[in-house]
Structure 1
Amino acid sequence: MIRGVRGAITIQENSEKEIIQATDRLLHKMIDENQIMPEYVASVFISVTDDITDAFPAKVLRSLEGWSYVPVMCMKEISVSNALEKCIRVMMHVNTAKSQQEINHVYLEDAVVLRPDLASK
């Protein structure tokens, strides 16, 4: 069964260093909390808000050992008035025997407001 594993994090400033560090922190937490092995990942979508322009977050995933063959795509998040700013979102499509309730979605920093019901799991 393929399940979606969601995650999001916000950054304070649009800089390559901060984008890379935040993405690395988010991805490692998603991978660790869900025991994700790259060979079981079908694909990963990473979106950013319009105010993130200094780096590709996918660069982080491609640099992780064993993840070089996992298809990754970066894209822009839909612009919505009063939406959360400086946000990086990740959706991993993972082959797993876990139920939807067993998946640990990860929301860090100000991104906790996106899904407080899942962030507190």
Structure 2
Amino acid sequence: MPVRAIRGATTLDADDREHLHGRTQELVEALMSANSLDTEDVISVIFTCTQDIVSDFPAAAARELGFGAVPLMCAQEMAVPGALPRVVRVLAHVETALAREAVTHVYLHEAVALRRDLAQ
């Protein structure tokens, strides 16, 4: 089965733990649904957050969705002046029969501005 990388991002209205979990779960669920995946297909997931998000780890939100056996990692995004604030990004490595061109990347809320070419 081919391995594909799937990107996505979302934004928060505020750095609040419950809000972070809700938006992260919304992003992960949308990514999984758009690509017809289940957790068995997921090899690993890397989350990044902008420096203004410190309320919790996005990986904790993914674990609540059943990703406990999937290797998850969180990192801090580069602090580029003028960049979009309060962004959670995801890079998921999955096994899927989808061709590279058929993979659906997911950008939600204000994160649509990051990749208008990929956002739906």
Query: What's the TM-score bracket when you normalise by the shorter of the two chains?
Result: over 0.9
Distance in 1 (alpha carbons) for counterparts of 2:89 and 2:29: 14
Give me the CA root mean square deviation: 0.9
Distance in 1 (alpha carbons) for counterparts of 2:40 and 2:13: 33
User: Does structure 1 residue 82 correspond to structure 2 residue 85?
Assistant: no
Checking the alignment, whether the CA contact within 8 Å between 2:25 and 2:65 is kept in structure 1 is no
Distance in 1 (alpha carbons) for counterparts of 2:35 and 2:59: 19
Unaligned runs of 5+ in 1: none
- Paired position in structure 1 for 2:71: 71
Distance in 1 (alpha carbons) for counterparts of 2:41 and 2:29: 16
Checking the alignment, whether the CA contact within 8 Å between 2:48 and 2:89 is kept in structure 1 is yes
Deviation at 1:119, TM superposition (A): 0.2
Q: Percent identity?
A: 38
TM-score in terms of structure 2 length: 0.95
Unaligned runs of 5+ in 2: none
TM-score in terms of structure 1 length: 0.94
Consecutive aligned runs of 4 or more in structure 1 exceeding 2 Å deviation:
none
- Paired position in structure 2 for 1:95: 95
Distance in 1 (alpha carbons) for counterparts of 2:98 and 2:32: 14
Distance in 2 (alpha carbons) for counterparts of 1:86 and 1:11: 5
Q: Deviations along 1:30-75, whole A, 9 cap, x unmatched?
A: 111111121221110000000000111101111223x211000011
